[in-house]
Structure 1
Amino acid sequence: MLVVFIPIDIPLGLYNEAKTLAFHSVVYGALLYIPYDKGKKNYILHFYSLFMVFSLCFVQGGVSSPIIYFFLSPIMSAYLSFGSRVGRRFAYAVLGCITLLFVLGAFDLIPFTNLDDATLNIQIFTYAIIVGVGIDVVITIGDYDALRNQAETTLREKQNEILQQEEELKQQQEEIIATQEQLIIDEKREKEQVESDKIKAENSLEAIKTSIEYASKIQLNTLPSDKVLKDYFAEYYIYFKPKDTVGGDYYYVNSFRGTTVVVLIDCFNQGMTGMLLGSVITSYLDTLQSLPDRPSELIYELHQYIRENFNYYNSINNKGSNLSIVYVEDNHIVYSGANGIGYIVKNEEVIRVQSSDRSVGVTNNDPDSIPYMDKEYQVNSDDVIVLSTDGFVNHKTKEGQVVGHEALESIVKGFYQGYKHSWKESFDEYIEEQFGKEQEDDITVLCFNLT
């Protein structure tokens, strides 16, 4: 707009005005095209527009100059671009500029000659000013509309983007809520399942516990009672302690045509497995129609019976069962052992009887092992016969050492001419002082003398 008025001013003889327009065109163009902050640029351009209109009015006669109409453009653009608050300030600034021009003109402080409105040139110039102001206002309004439309479009895009984000957030929230609800349902279901499994396990455990306790009662009832033992022995003491509620140790006493048979059984497996195998062996002994002549023969028959009828046991465990068998006829005894432990206490001397190192029911005994054999002894009523499973000698002391055969021998050494209560006191004292708390095997020690 400034550049357009330069060729208009020159033919009309307004050279000072043309020079001023040329100067302002250069400065305004520099301010317009130099890149810097857009917000600051708008303020600077608006204020420079005020200054430019003021300077042109000053050159062309103050308030009487038609250039004064150009003050309308910065006021409108300020209202449209910056809002009413800033636009009001620009209006006050324009009022100040016009007042200053009026004061300068009233006191003849303007060095330039006022325009003569009667001349055709001035009328043309005035018309050009009015047209220019109109065009400037139209352009300002058009720019405002374009900016407003752009702002509305941007706002709609942002609103749509926000709505889309809100919808996505809503979906995510719904998914999270659904996931949390499912997790709560799954957790509740899992908790209920755990509780149900716990109740079932407790019921099963209780049933198993009841069954084991009942099995323990059955096992104890199958062992010879005190009444039975008193019929066979003058004095006797039995230390019987299964590792679990039921165990694989059994002791058996019976009479066959004048021969008393005493058997101590140590099944390798503890618990129910050992109990079942021990029951099988004692049941076999109960079904004997006649007693083999030698205890070694009885051991061999048991060995064959288990191998032929209970092969599944051998597939589970190849260590079988250990046995000690004693035949008693008056003061004569015959001992045979399958990895058994036996002693005879005579005059405070402890004689360890020899036993085979072969277990019963094992298919892979070492061919170089000692075969089943018989050992015969003469005993009197004061002598004491001691049979033991390996649970006692293999038990750990409080110091973590194995008890061993020497300790058992030292306990029974004083049993000669003794009584059951003193035997019990000897075992109780040693166990209380020396035994460790953890039991790793069933323990049975059978001590007796003859009537």
Structure 2
Amino acid sequence: MNNQNNFLATKLKLIFYMLIGFIVVDIPLGLHREAIMLGVHALIYAPMLYIPYNKKLKNYILHVYITIIVLSFCIVQGGVFSPVIYFFLSPIMSAYLSFGAKVGRYFATAAFVCIVTLFVIGILGLNPFPPLDVGNINIHIFTFAIIMGVGMDVLITITNYNKLRDEAEKILTDHQNEILQQEEELKQQQEEIIAIQEQEIKNEKREKQQYESDKIKAENSLEAIKTSIEYASKIQLNTLPSDKILKDYFAEYYIYYQPKDTVGGDYYYVNNFMGTTIVAMIDCYNQGLTGMLLGTVITSYLDTLQRLPSSPTELIYELHQYIRDNFNYYSNLNERGCNMSIVYIEDHHIIYSGASGIGYIVNENGIMPLKSSDRSIGKTVTAKASIPYKDYEYDISSDDVIILSTDGFVNHKTKKGKVVGHDTLEGLIKGFYNGYHESWKESFEKYITENFAKEQEDDITVLCFNLT
């Protein structure tokens, strides 16, 4: 568009310069009338050429005015026989090359009408000016100048047009090459995107397949672990004293045993060594497999005793040292160690020692808590102010009831979000004296059903028994 505007501006300025040039030619040739007419047109044409307004409208007006100049000059210089008539080519060519075939036809039609008008004026003798004197040398010179001017105009027009056309073609070619390059780049980018998408799809498919494979393996492993844990639970239950064994040692007994997970770290133990019955309640701090394994180690240690230590406290010290010497890694991981209550029974005389254990004797006088050290066994570090392990001896009757418990019961949450606590446990067992296991079971199960929160945070074990 800029090239086209430059072409039009150059073309219209050329016509203005030709007007001035023909004034310079006409004066020496004595064509003063023609020179005056061209001067008047130049004065009108110049401001129109340099006034800034809508370019398209301005170009149309200037082309029309050029046609009027040529028509008026033809009338002065002999009508249709004037050599000036060739200047009609200028607006026709400019209009055709610059505005297209439609506008070019309009200007060609206008030039044809002007020529016909000049012919009619000449035939009818209506031209007020005398005809050309073809024999006059000045007219020959003027005619030659006209022909030269028209030739130069046509030559310059064609040259500029070809130059602009070549530039336009070059711009078009460059633009086409740029478009082709962009298309190639876009095609390459599209191919890269498609390749990336295909690779992503392959990766997603592979990841999905890997995920499904890992999921199946995990499910199989989980199932295998679940099966192993369930089997471990059966093993653990088999290591605990059976009903048959408990009936051999106790007149009445009740055991509430509820691990947090499939297996747990709570153990209760009953055995006889040379006339001394030993009852132990073991609470390993970690639940699950870790607690189960440590509990198994402790019960295995008790089973393999060649000689029963003289007191429960001595036995607790031996277990404490055994765990520290052989399972020090456990103590490093868990500074709370393992809680335990041990009762030695000979006839109706008992010796009790506890390592952070919970125990009670319920007799005719009410509830008597069994004193216990606040030390756990197996701990690497023990507070200086802690109470050492110590034996406590009691005489009991057949109607007295001994209760041993882990802290899972008293630390359990109620449905209202409160901790069960020792007071609640003591309230449950205060009526157990001279009772039977059915009433003990009923008391515990009723309270648990009505008050226990569903979520369990620790293993729970409570053992109630009296002697034969």
Settle same-fold status: TM greater than 0.5. yes
1:139 to 128, 138, 156: 156
Amino acid across the alignment from 2:147? I
> How many residue pairs align between the two structures?
451
Residue 354 (structure 2) pairs with residue 320 (structure 1): no
User: Which AA in structure 1 matches 2:443?
Assistant: S
- 2:254 counterpart SS class: strand
Q: Deviations over 1:33-63 (max 9, x none)?
A: 5555554444333222101101111222322
Work out the percentage of aligned pairs sharing the same amino acid.
70
Distance 2:309 2:93 in 1: 134
Aligned to 2:4: none
Choose the corresponding residue for 2:303, options 265, 280, 286. 286
The letter of the residue matching 1:278 is: G
The aligned residue for residue 209 of structure 1 is 226
TM-score (norm 1): 0.94
Aligned match of 1:257: 274
Counterpart amino acid of residue 85 in structure 1 = K
User: How far, CA to CA, are the matches of 1:298 and 1:50 in structure 2?
Assistant: 133
**SS across alignment from 1:415:** coil
Shift of 1:231: 0.8
Q: Hey, what's the Cα distance between the residues in 1 that align with 2:55 and 2:186?
A: 35
Q: Give, in angstroms, the shift of residue 230 of structure 1.
A: 0.9
Instruction: Using the TM superposition, name which of 26-35 and 67-76 deviates more.
Output: 26-35
**Contact 1:348/1:414, CA 8 A, preserved across alignment:** no
2:71 aligned partner: 54
1:275 aligns with 2:285: no
CA distance in 2, matches of 1:214, 1:207: 10
1:287-320 Cα offsets, whole Å, 9 max, x none, are 1122222222211221222122221222111221
Give 1:441's aligned amino acid: D
Q: Cα deviation per residue 1:257-294 (whole Å; 9 max; x = unaligned)?
A: 22111111111111111111111110111011222222
Helix, strand or coil: the match of 1:24?
A: helix
Give, in whole Å, the separation in 2 of the partners of 1:285 and 1:389.
19
Give the whole-Å Cα distance in 2 for the aligned partners of 1:368 and 1:141: 117
Letter in 2 for 1:406: D
User: Whole-Å Cα distance in 2 between the matches of residues 364 and 121 of structure 1?
Assistant: 135
The answer as to whether partners of 1:81 and 1:144 remain within 8 angstroms in 2 is: no
Partner of 2:168: 151
Partner of 1:90: 107
- 3-state SS of 1:185 partner: helix
Among candidates 232, 237, 241, match of residue 249 of structure 2: 232
Written as runs of structure 1 = structure 2, the 5 A alignment for 1:25-424 is: 25-33=42-50, 38-347=55-364, 349-424=366-441
Q: Secondary structure at the match of 1:414?
A: coil
Q: Distance in 1 between matches of 2:457 and 2:195?
A: 55
Match of 1:9 in 2: 26
Taking the aligned partners of 1:7 and 1:338, their CA distance within structure 2 comes to 134
CA distance in 2, matches of 1:128, 1:35: 32
**Paired residues of 1:268 and 1:319 also in contact (CA < 8 A):** yes
Quick check: 1:343–1:351 contact (8 Å CA) kept in 2?
yes
Report SS of the residue matched to 1:272: helix
Greater shift in the superposed pair: 72-81 or 393-402: 72-81
| Aligned counterparts of 1:449 and 1:152: Cα–Cα separation in 2 | 115
Return closer, same or farther for 1:2/1:164 CA change in 2, 3 Å cut-off.
same
Aligned-partner SS, 1:224? coil
| Greater CA drift, 28-37 or 124-133 | 28-37
Tell whether the 8 Å contact from 2:258 to 2:460 is kept in structure 1 after alignment.
yes
Summarize the Cα distance change of 1:124–1:320 in structure 2 as closer, same or farther, 3 Å threshold. closer
Which 10-residue stretch deviates more, 250-259 or 288-297?
288-297
Give the CA RMSD over aligned residues: 2.0
- Give the match for residue 36 of structure 2: 19
Contact 1:348–1:416 at 8 Å: present in 2 too? Answer: no
SS at match of 2:430: helix
For residues 145-197 of structure 1, give each alpha carbon's deviation from its aligned partner in whole angstroms, at most 9, with x where no partner exists: 12211211111111111112112212222222222222222222222232233
Amino acid at match of 1:332: H
For the Cα contact (< 8 Å) 1:335–1:375, is it kept in 2?
A: yes
Shift in Å at residue 107 of structure 1? 4.9
Distance (Å, rounded) in 1 between the aligned partners of 2:382 and 2:390: 15
Structure 2: which amino acid aligns with 1:176?
I
